[in-house]
Amino acid sequence: MSSDLYATPEHEAFRETVRKFTEEQMRPRARDFDAAGRIDKSLFKQMGDLGMLGLRYDPAYGGSGLDWSFSAVMHEELGRSDNAGATLAISVHTEMATPSLAQFGSDDLKRAYLAPAIAGDTVSAIAVTEPDAGSDVAGIKTRAVRDGSDWVIDGSKIYITNAANADWLCLLAVTDPDAGYGGFSQIIVPTDTPGVRYDLLDKIGNWGSDTGQFYFEGVRVPVANTIGEVGRGFQQQMMQFQDERLVACITALSAMELLWDETKKWTDERVLFGKPLSKMQNTQFKMAELWVQMQAARELNLSAVRRLVDGKDATTLITAAKVFTVGVCMRVASECMQLHGGYGYMKESMAGRAFVDTRLGGIGGGSDETMLQYLAKQLGF
């Protein structure tokens, strides 16, 4: 099925490393991360030491120069951490906040920010969404005004993952309000810069990630912190969203594959009306249907990965994969919760948590409607 994509012994050996890491360092502590509302920052260092944080990045900055197939292997395994928030926190760092820097950043900027991020010495966050603009990215208001060789930044960003753990933000700001789509820039803002402040937000799910709102008041960072060209931020961010969306699909689906496995075990063990729940035809049909849906989502995700590995544009496939995978994952979570009965409604149940965790998929990283709007346009509407 996916064997051609993951054909080399290195894929398999790397999968084993990530699987062990996930099983030993993440799953046993999953509920601790929930209680803390964030993952232990030292995990990033551990992952950096194992080479997990710069798979596709230039070896000159500590990366491994590999392709998306390795990223897919890694996130398939991390998705089984039994903590959607923890998985999200890591994937924000590897696939949502650093790709633009790796692709467009200057050598100096990459030495200063990408190399430590790959090593796991620093943690990054992506700051696009604002209280008054999410789906409508071009509607953001956070302003960076040039003052000599500095940007002076004022504004606010909301629902930012890794808010507490982040050492720097990949911030999208308006640098020229009159230039339309050419008026945005991606700027690296260290979180300890004077004038940067954040509050944590209380979420209904994804408890293992630290989501917050940032405020910027007269924040000064060098213009040299701009990623790529001034004025290209919007376009660069649209490209960065592709990695974000694909990783969201991969991690959410592998979390649901784990939930499906656990639910199957549960239905074998749960006895009602004198027989295991798994012996009821309704259970079997539901589980089989969910399995089919997951296979389809998996293949769609892998076709997107394949296109990226082949060096082709995958925007349409990734967009399709996101809207489809999100739907499948929400359905799996909901049906598995149903099969768990009252226990499924408990916070400690994997199914119950999945129910709230997967709901993020249709909102974050571009809502379902945003995906469909794009697809409709591609389809000639």
Partner 1 sequence: MKVMVCLKQVPHQDAKLDINSDGTWIQEDNIKFEINSYDTYALEEALRIKDADADTEVVVVSIGPDRVTQALRTALGMGADRAVHVNDAEAFGSDALCVAKVLAAVAKAESPDLIFTGLMTDDGNSSAVPPMLAELIDVPSATGVLHTEAANGSLKVERELEGGAIEVVELPKPCLASIQTGANQVRYASLKGIMQAKKKPIDVKTAADLGVSDVASKATIDKVYSPPKNATADILSGSTDEIVSGLMGKIKELGVL
Binding site for partner 1 (CB under 8 A): 9-10, 12-14, 16-17, 20-21, 49-52, 55, 64, 70
Q: How far is the CB of 117 from ligand FAD (least distance, A)?
A: 15
Instruction: Report the alpha-carbon distance of residue 307 to residue 335 in Å, rounded.
Output: 32
Exactly one of 134, 208, 212, 233 binds ligand FAD (CB under 6 A); which one?
A: 134
Exactly one of 22, 161, 226, 301 binds ligand FAD (CB under 6 A); which one?
A: 161
Instruction: Report the alpha-carbon distance of residue 128 to residue 2 in Å, rounded.
Output: 34
52 in Cβ contact with 18 (< 8 Å): yes
141 binds ligand FAD, rule: CB under 6 A:
no
Exactly one of 69, 71, 81, 211 binds ligand FAD (CB under 6 A); which one?
A: 211
Indicate left, alpha or beta for 126 from its phi (over 0: left) and psi (-120 to 50: alpha).
beta
For residue 215, CA distances in Å to 135, 155, 165, 173, 194 come to: 20, 6, 16, 13, 11
187 in Cβ contact with 153 (< 8 Å): yes
Instruction: Report the alpha-carbon distance of residue 366 to residue 342 in Å, rounded.
Output: 33
φ and ψ of 198, to 5 deg: -145, 155
- Nearest to ligand FAD of 240, 278 (CB atom): 240
370 binds ligand FAD, rule: CB under 6 A:
yes
367 binds ligand FAD, rule: CB under 6 A:
yes
Judged by CB under 6 A, the stretch of 6-14, 121-129, 269-277, 313-321 that binds ligand FAD is 121-129
37 binds ligand FAD, rule: CB under 6 A:
no
Any catalytic annotation for residue 10? Answer: no
120 binds ligand FAD, rule: CB under 6 A:
no
End-to-end Cα, the chain, rounded Å: 33
Q: How far is the CB of 172 from ligand FAD (least distance, A)?
A: 8
For residue 2, CA distances in Å to 95, 303, 325, 379 come to: 21, 9, 17, 28
Residue 78, token pair as written in the block: 């991390």
Write the DSSP symbol of residue 59: G
Q: How far is the CB of 370 from ligand FAD (least distance, A)?
A: 5
Judged by CB under 6 A, the stretch of 2-10, 119-127, 175-183, 192-200 that binds ligand FAD is 119-127
Residue 367 interacts with which of ligand FAD, partner 1, none, CB < 5 to 8 Å by class: ligand FAD
Judged by CB under 6 A, the stretch of 25-33, 217-225, 289-297, 367-375 that binds ligand FAD is 367-375
Residue 50 interacts with which of ligand FAD, partner 1, none, CB < 5 to 8 Å by class: partner 1
Chain centroid to Cα 175, Å, comes to: 26
- Nearest to ligand FAD of 36, 224 (CB atom): 36
Write the DSSP symbol of residue 97: S
Centre a 10 Å sphere on the Cβ of residue 186 and count the other Cβ atoms it contains.
30
Q: How far is the CB of 363 from ligand FAD (least distance, A)?
A: 5
159 binds ligand FAD, rule: CB under 6 A:
yes
* Catalytic one of 77, 244, 257, 335: 244
Single-letter code of the amino acid located at 25: Q
Write the DSSP symbol of residue 270: -
Q: How far is the CB of 46 from partner 1 (least distance, A)?
A: 9
- H-type helices in 233-314, by residue range? 233-269, 281-309
Give the residues lining the site for ligand FAD (CB under 6 A).
92, 125-129, 134-136, 159-161, 203, 206, 211, 360, 363-367, 369-370, 373
| Residues annotated catalytic, as ranges | 244
